[in-house]
């Protein structure tokens, strides 16, 4: 945490300082050298379909667009447990500082935008390809100056850093859902680097798929992001209202009212963005949210079913089931002798099984087995179609059919090559056998490895 914080501090503070310097210099320039205000007139068709709506809805649309620009505060609320103790107090302090910086920068840039002269003076030949921040930097410092390029580099750095926010917070949020049983358990597991690496991998896969599907078009991706964010805000605020109604401690009515107003505002924003951006791809969010909700409840239902199946309840240990062990012998060599020693250490009915694919080799195998097996019986199964797995599976299934409560231990010798290039020279039959036996009840697969230098 300390190492990553040091790396992230430079672009974060660099952007804040650069923006504050630009805003301060711009305000000083506006006050010292008054420039005419822009007269913005809405020509027919300039605003689009929104021009035909009520003024109230247009105001809501503008409010919603502004709210989208202020997302990111949820990163702190999702990562409270990552703060130094006391976690809640330090997170709240960080949130206050973040809110203060965002208010200053947001209002400051809004003030300067109103005092820009003709935008064409500070835009390129194609004004739509120059961002508002870039135009403000050109107005304040001049095009091509040191301050102008400092703002460009600071903005690029903070955008790259902002892309990391989801990779820091979604895995942590996913781990909380996984612990509650609404996402797969592996998402709650931390790796050696103390991050939820499974969540990072999953998010990376989804991010790659979205960028590929939408060809990296921000106008198509932003509606998905905005509706998703404010839907999550609305759900979290509503959940807090329910929490306060259940807790009912001192001052709970004020807290519930604050969260209720927050849920109402964010819900209105989500609804407005959904309606205005519906044809541009916001419809997909409805499908994704519905599918995700169904998936979460299906996962939770599955974990509940597993818990019910594994509950002890009134279970009492029964009588010891009969045990059998079979040693798979493809041929007789030194590696098989290690597995043979292990088989001889087991109790119950222990036997060896050999599947004959080439009858010409059978006499030699029987002779060597009789010499080294110390009396362990060898069952020979013919395979006229040269299949190795099916005769073994049929033999085990017959043992279980004769005595259903029998526990069969299948000993599989497996060669392990010490160099990766040597693995391509081996036939991995042992793994095929283990995969085939994996779904059979009352079958225990024991792998005895012998190593090849």
| pLDDT at res. 199 | 92
Confidence of residue 419 (pLDDT cuts 50, 70, 90): confident
Residue 431: give its domain's CATH number.
Answer: 3.40.50.620
Residue 350 vs residue 42, higher pLDDT: 350
Confidence of residue 129 (pLDDT cuts 50, 70, 90): low
- Backbone φ and ψ of 449, nearest 5°: -95, 140
Whether residue 116 is contained in a domain is answered as: yes
Distance CA 281, CA 227 (A): 10
| pLDDT at res. 299 | 95
For the chain, the domain total comes to: 2
Task: State which of 153, 170, 187 marks the end of a domain.
Answer: 170
Whether residue 13 is contained in a domain is answered as: yes
| pLDDT at res. 36 | 55
Whether residue 99 is contained in a domain is answered as: yes
* Of 61-75, 143-157, 210-224, the least confident: 61-75
What sign does the dihedral 199-189-7-1 (CA atoms) show? positive
Confidence of residue 423 (pLDDT cuts 50, 70, 90): confident
Distance CA 72, CA 86 (A): 22
Identify the helix (H) or strand (E) that includes residue 30: helix 2-32
Residue 231 vs residue 1, higher pLDDT: 231
> 409 pairs with which residues across the strands?
325, 444
Q: Which candidate, 349, 348, 347, 350, places its Cα nearest to that of 329?
A: 350
Whether residue 302 is contained in a domain is answered as: no
What interhelical angle do 252-276 and 55-68 show, nearest 10? Answer: 110
Residue 50 has pLDDT above 50, yes or no: no
| pLDDT at res. 430 | 78
Whether residue 266 is contained in a domain is answered as: no
Share of the chain above pLDDT 70, in %: 88
Residue 35 has pLDDT above 80, yes or no: no
Mean pLDDT of 127-132: 67
| pLDDT at res. 120 | 45
Mean pLDDT of 137-166: 87
| pLDDT at res. 159 | 85
Name residues whose C-beta falls within 8 Å of residue 412's C-beta, 6 or more positions apart in sequence.
Answer: 328, 339, 430, 433, 434, 445, 446, 447, 448
Confidence of residue 228 (pLDDT cuts 50, 70, 90): confident
Whether residue 202 is contained in a domain is answered as: no
End-to-end Cα spacing for the chain: 42
Distance CA 239, CA 180 (A): 15
Task: State which of 152, 170, 188 marks the end of a domain.
Answer: 170
pLDDT tens-place string over residues 333-349: 888 888 898 898 888 88
Confidence of residue 38 (pLDDT cuts 50, 70, 90): low
pLDDT tens-place string over residues 53-108: 567 777 777 777 777 666 767 777 777 877 888 988 999 998 899 889 988 998 99
Whether residue 306 is contained in a domain is answered as: no
pTM: 0.66
Mean pLDDT of 432-448: 86
Whether residue 250 is contained in a domain is answered as: no
- Other CB atoms within 10 A of residue 9 CB: 10
Task: State which of 170, 194, 213 marks the end of a domain.
Answer: 170
Question: Residue 395 belongs to what domain range?
Answer: 323-452
Residue 421 has pLDDT above 90, yes or no: no
Distance CA 103, CA 121 (A): 28
| pLDDT at res. 151 | 92
Name residues whose C-beta falls within 8 Å of residue 123's C-beta, 6 or more positions apart in sequence.
Answer: 130, 135
pLDDT tens-place string over residues 267-322: 888 888 788 777 776 777 788 888 989 999 999 999 999 888 888 776 666 667 78
Share of the chain above pLDDT 90, in %: 20
| pLDDT at res. 18 | 94
């Amino acid at each position: 945490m300390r190492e990553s914080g040091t790396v992230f501090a430079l672009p974060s503070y660099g952007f804040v300082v650069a923006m504050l310097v630009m805003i301060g210099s711009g305000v000083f320039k506006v006050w010292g050298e008054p420039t005419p205000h822009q007269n913005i007139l809405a020509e027919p068709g300039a605003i689009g379909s929104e021009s035909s709506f009520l003024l109230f809805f247009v105001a809501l649309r503008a409010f919603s667009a502004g709210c989208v620009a202020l997302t990111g505060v949820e990163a702190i609320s999702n990562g409270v447990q990552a703060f130094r103790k006391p976690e809640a107090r330090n997170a709240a302090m960080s949130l206050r500082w973040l809110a203060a910086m965002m208010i200053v920068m947001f209002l400051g840039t809004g003030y300067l935008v109103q005092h820009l002269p003709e935008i064409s003076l500070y835009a390129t030949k194609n004004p739509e390809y120059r961002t508002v921040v870039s135009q403000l930097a050109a107005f304040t410092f001049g095009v091509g100056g040191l301050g102008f390029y400092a703002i460009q580099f600071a903005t690029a750095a903070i955008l790259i850093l902002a892309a990391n926010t989801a990779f820091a917070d979604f895995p942590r949020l996913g781990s909380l859902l996984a612990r509650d049983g609404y996402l797969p358990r592996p998402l709650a597991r931390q790796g050696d680097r103390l991050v939820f690496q499974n969540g990072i991998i999953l998010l990376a896969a989804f991010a790659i798929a979205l960028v590929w599907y939408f060809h990296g078009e921000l106008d198509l991706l932003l509606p998905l992001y905005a509706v998703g964010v404010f839907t999550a805000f609305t759900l979290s605020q509503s959940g807090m209202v329910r929490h306060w109604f259940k807790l009912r401690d001192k001052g709970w009515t004020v807290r519930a009212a604050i969260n209720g107003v927050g849920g109402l505002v964010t819900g209105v924003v989500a609804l407005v963005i959904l309606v205005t951006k519906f044809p541009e791809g916001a419809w997909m969010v409805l499908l994704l949210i519905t599918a995700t909700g169904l998936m979460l409840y299906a996962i939770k239902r599955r974990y509940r079913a597993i818990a019910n199946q594994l509950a002890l309840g009134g279970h009492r240990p029964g009588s010891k089931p009969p045990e059998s062990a079979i040693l798979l012998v493809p041929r007789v060599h030194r590696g098989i002798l290690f597995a043979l020693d292990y088989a001889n250490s087991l109790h119950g009915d222990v036997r060896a099984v050999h599947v004959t694919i080439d009858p010409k080799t059978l006499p030699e195998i029987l002779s060597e087995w009789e010499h080294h097996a110390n009396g362990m019986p060898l069952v020979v199964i013919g395979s006229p179609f040269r299949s190795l797995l099916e005769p073994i599976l049929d033999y085990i299934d017959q043992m279980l059919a004769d005595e259903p409560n029998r526990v069969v231990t299948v000993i599989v010798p497996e060669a392990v090559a010490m160099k990766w290039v040597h693995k391509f020279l081996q036939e991995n039959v042992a793994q095929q056998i283990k995969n085939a036996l994996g779904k059979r009840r009352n079958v225990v697969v024991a792998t005895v490895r012998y190593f090849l230098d």
